[in-house]
Amino acid sequence: MGTEHIRNFSIVAHIDHGKSTLADRMLELTGSITDRDRQEQMLDSMDLERERGITIKASAVTMKYELDGKEYMLNLIDTPGHVDFHYEVSRALAACEGALLVVDASQGVEAQTVANTYLAVETGAEIIGVINKIDLPAAQPQVVIEEVEHAIGLSKGECFPISAKSGEGVGELLRAVIQLLPPPEDHSDEPSSALIFDANFNDYRGVICYVKVVGGKLRTRQKIRLMGTGRTYVISEIGKFAPQMTAVDELGSGEVGYVIANIKELADVTIGDTITDDANPAEKPLPGYQPPAQMVFSDFYPGNNTDYPKLRGAFEKLATNDSSFTFTPQSSPALGFGFRCGFLGLLHMEIVQERLEREYDIDVVQTAPTVSYEVITKDGETIRIDSPSMLPDPSHIEALKEPYVRLEIITSSDTIGGIMTLAEGKRCQLIKTDYLSKTRVLLEYKAPLAEIVYDFYDLLKGISHGYATMDYELIGFEKSNLAKVDILVNKKAVDALSVILHRSNAEVRGRKLLQKLRKAIPKHQFEIPLQAAIGGKIIARETIKAYRKDVTSKLYGGDVSRKMKVLKKQKEGKKRMKSIGSVQIPQEAFMSILDTSD
C-alpha cells in the first residue's frame, strides 16, 4: 500500500478523558473486532489496567477503513494519561504524524491535556481536537471548545464533538483523520530503516519489538542490524496488531507493526534504536529518545514469606517488560539485603509493588520514597545520589542540589487562595497565572520535586474538592540549603529511616517524624529513645516507654526496703535488656515517613 493511504496517529489526553473507550469505538467502526471479541478497554492487556481504568503501557493497532472507494490503513497508538507515564506518550508521538487530543466536555482542559499538546508540538505532529462525552448531562462542548482555543490554540474548526461511549460523531472523526492528518513521507526507495518505539518480552518468543518502518521494507528472514549495539539478527516473524498479532510477509515504508528476531533479552534492545538491513545499512540512525529519567527511589526488602533470590527473580522478570524500572542490590543493618529501585513516579512504584504481590506472591518491606540529589564535593566533582545513606561526609560537601520541576495546576477560580497557600508551604515559586475561562485558571510554578512528589496531589484534591489537576516536568537541579536528618532508634542510626530535608523545616519535620514513629513502633520490654540528628547535633527526641509489670503485687506488708529491692532488680534487668535487645521496626514505621501531613 502506498504511503498516501496510511495514517499513523496517537490518542493523547488527561487521565480518564476517554482515550481507551474512543479506541474501542474505532476498532468496532472499522470492523477490526467482532461482537464476540468485544470488551471494554480492548487495548489494555494488563488486569491492573482494567481494574484501575487506566492505561499503563502504550499499545498499537492497525485498522482498515474505506472512504470514497479507497482503502486506508490507520495505525493507532493508544497512550497512558497519567503524569508518571509521560515518557510512554513521548515515544508513541515520535512514531506518528498526527495526534487526537481528547478533552472531556464536562471537565474541560486539564493539566495533562496542556502537557501532551506541548509534547505533540515538539515532535511535529498535527493535532485534531476531540471534545468527548458530549452525551453527559453536565457537558458544555461550546465552553470547552473556547477553552481549547485559548489554552492550546486549536481553532473551532479543528475540534470534533463526539461521544466515545455511544459512538456519536466517531465516524466523522475517522473521516477527519484521513482528510486532515498528513500521511508518512515515502522513503520506500531508501535502505531499510525502522524506529523501535516500544518492546516487550515473551517467555516463548523472546523480545517483541514495536516498530515504525521509515525507509525501505522489512521482510521475514531478512538479516537485520540494530544500529545502536551493532548486533545482527534474522527476522523470524513480522506482523501487525489487528488488534491480535497477525503475521505478514513484509512491512513497507510508513507502516507500523512488530518484529520478532530471536532476541533473548530486553536489555539487548534499546527503545529508540534503529533497525536496518545488515547487507545494505542506512547511512545514519533515526532520531531516538532520551532515556527515561527515574524520579522516585525506594528500597525494597524481602518480607515475611519471601527470600532474597525470589525477590531478585521477580525484579528481573518485571524489568524485562519495563525498561523504565531499575533495581540495584542494597543492604541495611536494620533490614538485611534488598534492592534500591528507581521509578518514574509514585503511581509507577505502586503498580510495581502491586504486581509483585499479585503476579509473584511476594511480600516486601518498602522504605519511604526519596528523590535523587546532586552533591558538589570540595574537589569540584558532581555526584548523583538517590538515597540519604549515599550522602558523603559533610566535611567533603561544597553544596547540595535538589531537582526542580515546572508545575502546572488547573483549578476552578474559587479555590486559588487555598492552592496558593499550599504551594507556598511547599516552597513553590509562582511563575504565572492564566485564566482559561471565567471560572478556570492555570497556575504555573517552579517547585522542588521532593515537596510535591509525596502527598501534594492528595492535598491539592482536598482543597479543590477534587477538581484541580496537576502536571510536572523536570527542569533541572538547583542549589538548596539541605541537610541529612538521621533517625536514631535506641541510639543506633537506621539508614532506611534517614531523610534529606530543607534546613528551614528540618526540626519541625524531624519532631513530627519521631511522633509518628513512636505510634508505629510497638512497646518493648525496655525503654526506646527515638532521636533525630543533623550530624552530631540532636534536634528532636521522643521516648517509647517500656512495658511495666507490677513486680510488687505479690508483696504483702513488710518493710519498704523489700519493695525497693524488687524494683531495683527490675530496673537493672531493663537496663541490661536495653543494651543487648534489638528493636523490631514494622513496615508501618517506614511508611509513616512518607506521610508528611500534620
134 marked among binding-site residues: yes
The contacts found for 351-357 with CB under 8 angstroms, 24 or more apart, are: 351/48, 351/56, 352/318, 352/322, 352/325, 353/300, 354/48, 355/48, 355/318, 356/300, 356/314, 356/318
- What distance in Å separates the CA atoms of residue 292 and residue 323, rounded to the nearest whole number? 8
- What distance in Å separates the CA atoms of residue 594 and residue 349, rounded to the nearest whole number? 13
Backbone φ and ψ of 142, nearest 5°: -70, -40
415 marked among binding-site residues: no
- Tell me if 138 sits within 8 A of 106, measured CB to CB: yes
CA atoms within 13 A on the CB side of 104: 17
Among 381, 267, 269, which Cα is nearest to 327's?
267
The contacts found for 473-476 with CB under 8 angstroms, 24 or more apart, are: 473/86, 473/115, 473/405, 473/406, 474/293, 474/295, 474/403, 474/404, 474/405, 474/449, 475/404, 475/405, 475/406, 475/446, 476/403, 476/404
Cell 558523603 sits on residue: 392
Q: Give how far Cα 148 sits from Cα of 95, 124, 244, Å.
A: 25, 19, 35
Rounded to 5°, the CA angle 228-232-235 comes to: 115
- Tell me if 516 sits within 8 A of 593, measured CB to CB: yes
Among 28, 16, 128, 26, which Cα is nearest to 80's?
16
- Tell me if 254 sits within 8 A of 213, measured CB to CB: yes
Cell 491492573 sits on residue: 48
116 marked among binding-site residues: no
69 marked among binding-site residues: no
16 marked among binding-site residues: yes
133 marked among binding-site residues: yes
Sign of CA dihedral 588, 591, 592, 595: negative
Sheet harboring 256-260: ordered strands across?
Answer: 232-234, 223-226, 274-277, 193-202, 206-215, 256-260, 237-241, 245-248
Q: Give how far Cα 447 sits from Cα of 236, 428, 471, 477, Å.
A: 49, 4, 12, 11
Extract the C-alpha cell encoding 370: 526519596
19 marked among binding-site residues: yes
| End-to-end alpha carbon distance in the chain | 63
- Cβ neighbors of 8 (< 8 A, separation 6 or more) are 75, 77, 95, 96, 97, 98, 184, 212, 254, 256
135 marked among binding-site residues: yes
Q: Give how far Cα 383 sits from Cα of 345, 393, 402, 405, Å.
A: 22, 13, 12, 20
Helices (H), 102-227: 111-123, 141-151, 170-180
- What distance in Å separates the CA atoms of residue 91 and residue 280, rounded to the nearest whole number? 27
- Tell me if 124 sits within 8 A of 34, measured CB to CB: no
Bind-site residues for GTP: 16-21, 132-135
Cite the annotated binding site by residue number.
Answer: 16-21, 132-135
